[in-house]
Chains A and B, each alone.
Chain A
């Protein structure tokens, strides 16, 4: 039985120690926003944040999670703000998600959870990335070829975050 914290919520999973975090989150916890692409840490579709670090979870055994590690998936990027007038609160998009919409990035959309988490981690550490910073960080594969729009969206997200808008 493994204990883990995903999107600030505590879970337990009865899985083998070698089970990759990706499959624990998808099959045991039922959070399917994170995708399986290659199983070989090549494409980044499975990217989650572990303590803020973008991690390719298709090869990351659940047993390797550090004690008390914070795992963030795409579901955790969309924040739910408490709101008394609404039962479940109000969903609030992260500026990166907003920028992805503004630039109309997704096509098939399959890789975008991983792309967005990679961008969230980049902007968290580097609020004003250069072209080169973006190129070094955004290394996930997109088969639809949304790269030019991802590039623009990361810049836009940086602007949104600095301007305090979302």
Chain B
């Protein structure tokens, strides 16, 4: 329901909820209309978007999961604002598995693609508006007046000096018929939460250690499992020393899982020791054992086969080539999931980005139906796309089904690093033709990588893709994002090659944009340098979109472009993704030993209407650091069919001392809200390498910069 059909006259029956007196506002299972559920509806609690209790608490269900991006706060703010709830009485819960909470952009219950605010913006406002209308109608009945004599504010209805709290109206409201047409959305000027830096609702839990993550789930009679999976992708289990493992104190069982084996014990440490004793041996699969050099060669061969067009009229043609590596997500919380499979029900406690995927895999394994499967989403210790997969859920459900007890699976960091769905390694080439005025007249670009979507489709169409007719998936839209639309040219001549390789690939924060932002913004920078133009001005001269122009002009001023202190240089980058326009400038200096000192990073963005400016800024800061870590150090290398890196000592993360001040400015906008979780990441790689070029004259065309001897030292303002 990207839009509620308010033209249709909807009278909706309201009712007291079964469990706990109060008013419940819910949605139809098809997510098309908002209604107030009657108490004979099945699973009333599962359908509640808003529950106004007579005790005074307003419970708002947020359909997306909380992985740090702040939606537990910002999405609840949308509902609370529209219903004029008293924010101090609001309690926020994460939705159970139920189709009515499907992400309208994905037709599935999944948190990803930076779509939470953009796709739920209108539906959540409408939910809030209906709740407010119910309060107005109830107060009108109590006072025997017309609703147009009443106003709402801060959890109360006012008629002159008279007031009634929402909690006092909940039971009356639950007996009324409400006309949704009366539920008017607020004018933006009337917002009292939206647009304000409201503190996160999960802040206190997260500074006191009380927030429950997947790894913290604890149940009576629960076993803890850890797994070993075939080091070579496609490898099979050959042998184990089961007797030795079963002799380890606390070890209770051993269960085979896809591509590996799990040891179940009373505690994690016992499971880990049991796994060491089990000493599983794996074969090397049936595919040729590829290493990085083979992969790069294979990708480049695809590009060699493309006949590129080069316009004869061009005065100058700039030819460029780039390469980016595989990257792991490295969420701080390793993959983990708890499941309890019983004869008539299955409960799953998962830090998942997709309740739908989690539930669907449990359906497949247990044969139970959706209404017998309960997905309890915990906080996620980072997601970044990794937790949209369900491999770790599958293991927990299989293990619990095998032993008939609750089982919590916890991966070691080594398993997490070596069994990810990696950001695809990608190569790119450009042929950019310039006319006699040094304007771009031809933009030829080609990329080659392994397709994420084809992997998903091959493995059995995941439910969140099932609504797309297969015949309509031509190529791979996520591999192409950021290449088909280029800010500087009308029509890029772009071709993408999908190369099947045995390395599993997946959605990594900003997905195709993470690579393509680097390619395009390196290319435009190289062309600017080739014609002797200022990198800002050359970009600016080619921009057409007013929002892109505004973002660029703002960052020029905010970053003091071109006026950095002696010895310091700047690099700039602009990349629209997930509907959001964002430019970034990195200011740095480089020592003769190739030690990079970051002085300042500036970002300017236009993401349409802003719900919570502070969580937006936090996401941009975080997205920049995520991308900066990748450009500095990120490199998953494949050696003989397996991942070489295993933990943070060889898959390095940037630390506090390396990160400079990050200034983020949001351009105020009345446009529809767009993505925030991912757009901070794509521009930073090129902003960094463009600045390095200014400092050293060395153009980095393959990432990370560590490969070329550069290290990020201490930041200095």
Residues in chain A within 8 A of chain B (CB atoms)? 15-16, 19-20, 23, 26-28, 30-40, 42-43, 45, 73-75, 77-78, 93, 97, 100-101, 104-113, 116, 134-136, 138-151
CB closest residue in chain B, given A19: B269
Chain B positions within 8 Å of A144 at CB level: 68, 332, 382, 622, 626
Q: Are A20 and B269 in contact (CB under 8 A)?
A: yes
Task: Tell me if B592 counts as interface (CB < 8 A to partner A).
Answer: no
Given known A38-B647, A108-B379, contact A101–B332 (CB-CB < 8 A): no
Whether the pair B332, A104 counts as a contact (CB closer than 8 A) is no
| 0/1 interface trace, chain B 484-503, chain A, CB 8 Å (1 if under) | 00000000000000000000
Contact A110 B208 (CB under 8 A): no
Asked if residues B334 and A36 are in contact (CB atoms below 8 Å), the reply is yes
**Which residues of the partner chain A approach B623 to less than 8 Å between Cβ atoms?**
145
A42 touches B648 (CB 8 A): yes
Identify the closest chain B residue to A110 (Cβ): B381
Contact across chains for B656 and A139 when beta carbons are under 8 A apart: yes
Given A109-B211, A149-B618, residue A35 in contact with residue B332 (CB < 8 A): yes
Contacting residues, chain A, for B218 (C-beta < 8 A) = 30, 32
Whether A148 pairs with B662 at a CB distance below 8 angstroms is yes
B-side contacts of A32, CB under 8 Å:
209, 212, 215-216, 218
Q: Is the CB of B653 within 8 A of A143?
A: yes
Residue from A36, A78, A140 within 8 A of B208 (CB atoms):
A78
Assembled-state Cα–Cα distance A136/B247 (Å): 44
Most interface-central of A33, A37, A78, A113 (chain B CB within 10 A) = A37
Given known contacts A36-B334, A108-B332, A109-B202, what 16 new A-B pairs fall within 8 Å (CB)? A23-B269, A33-B209, A40-B648, A100-B207, A101-B203, A101-B204, A106-B202, A107-B68, A108-B379, A110-B213, A142-B332, A143-B331, A143-B332, A147-B655, A148-B621, A149-B621
Q: Kindly list chain B residues whose C-beta atoms are within 8 Å of the C-beta of A100.
A: 203, 207
B141 close to chain A: CB less than 8 A: no
Residues on the A chain within 8 Å of B268, using CB = 23, 26-27, 36
Question: Nearest-CB distance from B222 to chain A (Å)?
Answer: 10
> In the assembled complex, which residues on chain A have CB atoms less than 8 Å from the CB atom of B624?
145
Q: Are B67 and A108 neighbours in the complex by a CB distance under 8 Å?
A: yes
| Residue in chain B with minimal CB distance to A32 | B216
Q: A45 CB to closest chain B CB, in angstroms?
A: 6
Chain B residues closer than 8 Å to A35, beta-carbon distance: 213, 215, 332-333, 381
Interface string of B545-581 (1 = CB under 8 A from A): 0000000000000000000000000000000000000
- Please report the C-alpha to C-alpha distance between residue A158 and residue B61 in the assembled complex, in whole angstroms: 37
The 10 A-B pairs with the shortest beta carbon distances in the complex, nearest first, are A33-B209, A145-B625, A109-B206, A110-B381, A107-B68, A108-B68, A74-B209, A135-B657, A42-B648, A145-B622
**Can you list 15 residue pairs at the A/B interface with Cβ under 8 Å?**
A27-B266, A31-B209, A38-B647, A39-B412, A39-B647, A107-B68, A108-B379, A109-B379, A113-B209, A135-B714, A139-B655, A141-B332, A143-B382, A146-B618, A150-B656
| A33 x B208 contact (CB < 8 A) | yes
A75 to chain B, nearest CB (A): 6
| Nearest A residue to B601, CB-CB | A148
Determine the distance from Cα of A138 to Cα of B657 in the docked complex, in whole angstroms.
8
Query: Of the candidates A27, A45, A138, A147, which one forms a contact with B625 in the assembled complex, judged by CB atoms under 8 Å apart?
Result: A147
Q: Is B317 an interface residue (CB 8 A)?
A: no
Q: Does B30 contact A (CB under 8 A)?
A: no
Query: In the complex, which residues of chain A have a beta carbon less than 8 angstroms from the beta carbon of B657?
Result: 135-136, 138-139
Beta-carbon contacts under 8 Å, B411-433 to A: 412-414
Task: Flag whether B614 is at the interface (Cβ < 8 A).
Answer: yes
Task: Give, as a whole number of angstroms, the nearest-CB distance from B94 to chain A.
Answer: 14
Q: Given A142-B332, A145-B623, do A38 and B202 touch, yes or no (CB 8 Å)?
A: no
Q: Which residues of B contact A145 (CB under 8 A)?
A: 621-626, 629, 659
**Does B448 make an interface contact (CB < 8 A)?**
no
Scoring B residues 183 to 215 as 1 if CB is less than 8 Å from chain A, else 0, what string do you get?
000000000000000011011111111111101
Which residues of B are found within 8 Å of A112, using beta-carbon distances? Answer: 206-207
Contact B208 A93 (CB under 8 A): yes
Q: In chain B, what residue has the closest Cβ to A58? A: B413
Establish whether residues B382 and A43, one from each chain, have CB atoms under 8 Å apart when the complex forms.
Answer: no
Cβ-defined contact, A37 with B332, below 8 A: yes
Residue with the highest number of chain B CB atoms closer than 10 Å, among A26, A73, A134, A136: A26
Please determine whether A148 and B661 come into contact, CB atoms closer than 8 angstroms: yes
Q: Are B659 and A148 in contact (CB under 8 A)?
A: yes
Chain B's nearest CB lies how many Å from the CB of A146?
Answer: 7
- B residues 214-235 touching A (CB-CB < 8 Å): 215-216, 218, 224
If A36-B215, A93-B207, A148-B659 touch, does A104 touch B648 (CB 8 Å cutoff)?
no
Q: Is B380 an interface residue (CB 8 A)?
A: yes
Which residues of chain B have C-beta atoms less than 8 A from A111's C-beta? Answer: 332
Question: Does any Cβ of A come within 8 Å of B330's Cβ?
Answer: yes
Q: In the complex, what's the smallest C-beta–C-beta distance from B659 to chain A, in angstroms? A: 4
- Which residues of A sit under 8 angstroms from B333, Cβ to Cβ? 35, 37, 108, 110
* Interchain nearest-CB distance for B204 vs A (Å): 7
Note all chain B residues with C-beta closer than 8 A to A45: 332
Q: How far is the CB of B203 from chain A (nearest CB, A)?
A: 5
B44 at the interface (CB under 8 A from A): no
B267 contacts partner chain A, Cβ-Cβ < 8 Å: yes
Complex CA gap A12/B619 in Å reads 43
Most buried by A among B207, B267, B269, B622: B207
Nearest B residue to A20 via CB reads: B269
B38 at the binding interface (Cβ < 8 Å): no
Are the CB atoms of B656 and A138 closer together than 8 Å?
yes
Chain A residues whose CB sits within 8 angstroms of the CB of B69 once the complex forms = 107
Which of the residues A26, A31, A107 comes within 8 Å of B618, measured between beta carbons? A107
Which A residue's beta carbon lies closest to that of B657? A135
> Of B200, B205, B380, B714, which one neighbours A104 at CB under 8 angstroms?
B200
Across the interface, do B203 and A104 meet the contact criterion of CB distance under 8 Å? yes
What sequence of 0s and 1s flags, for each residue 254-268 of chain B, a beta carbon within 8 Å of any chain A beta carbon?
000000000000111
How distant is the Cα of A37 from the Cα of B70 in the complex, in angstroms? 22
Bound together, the chains give a CA A78 to CA B655 distance in angstroms of 26
Tell me if B410 counts as interface (CB < 8 A to partner A). yes
Please tell me if the beta carbons of B622 and A40 are within 8 angstroms of each other in the complex: no
Q: Measured between C-beta atoms, what is the minimum distance from A34 to chain B in Å?
A: 7
Q: A39-B413, A143-B330, A143-B626 are in contact. Are A134 and B656 (CB under 8 A)?
A: yes
Q: How far is the CA of A130 from the CA of B414 in the complex (A)?
A: 36
Smallest Cβ-Cβ distance to B248: which chain A residue = A16
> Which residues of chain A are near B622, meaning CB under 8 Å?
107, 144-146
Contact A33 to B210, CB < 8 A, known contacts A27-B269, A150-B656: yes
CB-based nearest A residue for B663: A148
Which partner residue on chain A sits nearest B266 by CB separation?
Answer: A27
